[in-house]
């Protein structure tokens, strides 16, 4: 009886440890993703005029090239896609910024020291 109880407790303990490790990794991945999105949001408001709302898609890594991609919808219908080499120091690791010039209606501006406090930012859920 004692041996069976010890095995049961050991199995439960292993399951709890596995759940905690997976949950912790998901939490840290989400935290890193939100930090990257905050940096990109700051870049957007400092470089484009009239931004009131930002909806982010999912931050994804291209396993073949190692680059990262993040798409965002600005206001209601301005879609922009950022590609960067590394998720640390986004400004210095930016590879490309793509948007369709026919549908993107925000104009570039000189880099202003503007914050993101008054911008409606949606980190999760993406857009369609």
Instruction: List, for residues 37-79, the tens digit of each pLDDT value.
Output: 888 898 888 888 888 899 998 888 888 988 899 999 998 889 9
- 81: pLDDT strictly greater than 90: yes
Give the residue from 79, 120, 75 showing the smallest Cα distance to 97. 79
Does some domain include residue 91? yes
DSSP-derived pairing of the beta strands 53-56 and 120-122: parallel
- 111: pLDDT strictly greater than 60: yes
Does some domain include residue 128? no
Give the residue from 54, 42, 55, 38 showing the smallest Cα distance to 115. 42
pLDDT at 70: 92
Indicate the Cα dihedral angle 123, 66, 82, 27, nearest 10°.
Answer: 10
Q: Which domain holds residue 91?
A: 2-122
Domain count, the chain: 1
Does some domain include residue 127? no
């Amino acid at each position: 009886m004692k041996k069976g109880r010890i095995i049961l407790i050991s199995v439960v303990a292993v399951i709890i440890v596995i759940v905690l490790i997976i949950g912790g990794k998901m939490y840290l991945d989400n935290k890193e993703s939100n930090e990257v999105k905050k940096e990109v949001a700051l870049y957007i408001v400092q470089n484009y005029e009239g931004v009131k709302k930002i909806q982010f898609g999912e931050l994804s890594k291209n396993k073949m090239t190692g680059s990262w991609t993040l798409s965002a919808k600005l206001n209601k219908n301005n879609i922009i896609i950022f590609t960067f080499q590394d998720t640390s120091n986004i400004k210095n690791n930016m590879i490309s910024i793509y948007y369709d010039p026919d549908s993107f209606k925000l104009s570039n501006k000189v880099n202003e020291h503007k914050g993101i406090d008054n911008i409606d930012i949606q980190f999760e859920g993406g857009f369609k």
